[in-house]
Amino acid sequence: MSLAPETIDAGTKLGLTVEEIQSIADKIGREPNFTELCIFSVMWSEHCSYKNSIKWLKTLPRDGENMLVKAGEENAGVVDIGDGIGCVFKIESHNHPSAIEPYQGAATGVGGIHRDIFTMGARPIAALNSLRFGDLKDEKTKWLLSGVVKGIGDYGNCFGVPTVAGETFFDASYEGNPLVNAMSVGTIDVNHIISATAAGVGNPVFIVGSDTGKDGIGGASFASKDISEDSATDLPAVQVGDPFQEKLLLEASLELAKTGTIVGMQDMGAAGITCSTSEMSAKGEVGMNIWLDKVPTRQKNMHPFEILLSESQERMLVVLEKGKEQEALDIFEKWDLNCVQIGEVTGDGILNYYMNGELVAQLPAYELVLGGGAPVYDRAFTEPAYFAEYKKFDMNQLAEPSDYIKVAKELTALPNIASKRWVYNQYDSMVGINNTNTNQPSDAAVTRIVGTNKAIVSTVDCNARYVNNDPYRGAMIAVSEAARNIVCSGGEPLAITNCLNFGNPQKPEVYWQFVEAIKGMGEACRQHNTPVTGGNVSFYNQNEKGPVFPTPTIGMVGRMEDLSLKTGLGFQKEGDLIYLLGNSQNDLAGSEYLANLRGIKASPAPYFNMEEEKLLHQAIYQLVRKRILSSCHDIADGGLLTTLLESAYVHELGFEVSTDNSFRKDAFLFGEAQGRVIVSLSSSHAAELESFCKEMNLNCQKLGVIKGNSAVIDGVSFETISFFKHLHLTSLEKEILGNN
């Protein structure tokens, strides 16, 4: 079928390729009109269809004994945490909107991920985030950081879900292209999970929540192209959020869920009405008649394509049982929200969109969606030249520092090591009073489940420098560190959600990073028995200077069967002994010390051995349940010294430790070799620890003792803990605010 030039021109301007436009015409048996091209442009965008990534995403492990909902089946993943309680969780990106309008971009990212949770009938109980920015000396970076943090804080605080954990990382590769990854965690009765599926011919289709406006139009397509100087012209593609409306929508939706009248429900996120109607219909193998003139709008005379593509926030699509509409109408009237029937379910698999009685688009739902007719691309990939160069790094060609005290102070003040207090103080971490980390910090967040003695343990992790230096090993480390943080806190890792942030997939070197990271992630998930429940792919994180560091952010949840098992990271009392569990290495690769103090970016990822990592996790899990550990803190960014200092800050307890002359002193103190933790315990438990580790064949090295108020290493006082703590707490703030 030959296409009119104006059809091709319109389609390519919407982001479709000529081949895709031809495929659309072949699938529907005629030339698509403009509204239909708009629908395909968003549904076949990378953001909605995963057309450049789905081939590799399918290789990730998606089954497990605790899985209640598999990856891709619903809006979010669900794992069983016992006693009829499910944990619903997901992470997603809002990178492109945040690069253009950081406040609303970040705020609506928070709102959207919470809707993914409560659209399933779950109540969100915890929020986490993972943020990436460029060089802090750049004024635009400071503007982006300020806007993003305020957006997250304002929306989350008003919505009333505590922000319990997160990470913030700085590198020049993110200049002008910040990454804003938001995660939500909720709880649900496992017998009352709501599906995002349409069913039942004749059942009414309702839109609930806020009015539909012109904000966010084409947001899915906008998120599927590179950031450039012209991106500011895409501002209408950035949504505007209202956390107070979202709170009303949450309560109304959960109240409606209790009535048993919901057949299916889906959040209106990317691609708005288009996405929710097509995905719910395709999943249920049904169709819908949708009357766009019935949709409550904020502006008059909106065109059909504007109503269909709008990504206005705080909206849901709900299919109800016919005859039970009044219950929904009464509930949403009570909460002062829209609840308007805009369609009905049909049995033919066709989506018919009408405007004032006129059929403006008619498309088969199956052909629009991922897993249906959406294209799947097998992109070429090539190992970049830098990868081989990075492997040539030789630590022996680097002289040891002459002043270790100076290095310790400089390392503590680095933006990636210093406290992110300026960031997290803008978040409400205590609303709901179930976040136990406000009183006892631990490696992962521990959130109490009301009415039980159980807790959900959650974390977000990814060292993007490691992934850039070696995508396969770096992704394995990201999964392993997340699991390590949960185990060190007293939990049992269950499953992950991921947010895969990469550059342009049509660049073979970038796609190689993606493929290698997926392979590493998959292998680590299989080894740790933490299947993937879903997530988000964000490509095109790239500006004129090139791609961002490949950043496969891992959101992981675990369960804690008894809150008394929680283990904090802080040293508890003077006289306790300090041990290092795991194997130290003569390794500086990928470390903050090497990259940002010694100026060497070209190195591999740090040492990592999966078998050693798994052995460590098994040991920590059992030691926590033996109840002999006073504290447990994993060695990660900044190395051993940073870990010791962070444990010391909690109660401002000093320590006296000795290094191991089997290793270079800078490698021992600042290297970031994986698979290691620092524990403290009473001297009365030392023999039991050593005996247990010997039985497990796990290296157990006594470093020293908690003593005094200074950091003393090899008999030399580096400074008081209060000095380091002040430096730790204030360095980032001074950099951001420009204070001396």
Residues involved in catalysis? 47, 94
Helices (H), 391-529: 404-413, 421-424, 464-469, 471-488, 508-528
What is the rounded distance in angstroms from the CA atom of residue 152 to the CA atom of residue 149? Answer: 5
72 torsion bin: left (phi>0), alpha (psi -120 to 50), beta (else)? left
**Pairing outcome for strands 546-547 and 542-543:** antiparallel
Q: Cβ distance 671 to 587 under 8 Å?
A: yes
What is the rounded distance in angstroms from the CA atom of residue 512 to the CA atom of residue 188? Answer: 39
Q: Is residue 135 classed as helix, strand or coil in its secondary structure?
A: coil
- Cβ burial, residue 188 (10 Å; 0-12/13-18/19+): buried
> What tokens were used for 32?
């698509």
Closest by CA position to 510, among listed 391, 601, 375, 379: 379
What is the rounded distance in angstroms from the CA atom of residue 531 to the CA atom of residue 534? Answer: 9
- Give, rounded to a whole angstrom, the gap between the first and last alpha carbons of the chain: 69
Phi, psi of 185 (to 5 degrees): -130, 130
What is the rounded distance in angstroms from the CA atom of residue 720 to the CA atom of residue 712? Answer: 9
Helix (H) or strand (E) run with residue 580 in it: strand 577-581
Q: Cβ distance 206 to 318 under 8 Å?
A: yes
> What tokens were used for 377?
């691309």
What is the rounded distance in angstroms from the CA atom of residue 13 to the CA atom of residue 11? Answer: 5
Closest by CA position to 168, among listed 142, 194, 190, 193: 142
What is the rounded distance in angstroms from the CA atom of residue 116 to the CA atom of residue 535? Answer: 11
Cβ atoms < 10 Å from Cβ of 340: 14
What is the rounded distance in angstroms from the CA atom of residue 710 to the CA atom of residue 653? Answer: 8
> What tokens were used for 596?
């940002």
Q: Cβ distance 52 to 261 under 8 Å?
A: no
Q: What angle do CA 90, 344, 240 make, to 5 degrees?
A: 45
Cβ atoms < 10 Å from Cβ of 676: 26
Q: Cβ distance 363 to 373 under 8 Å?
A: no
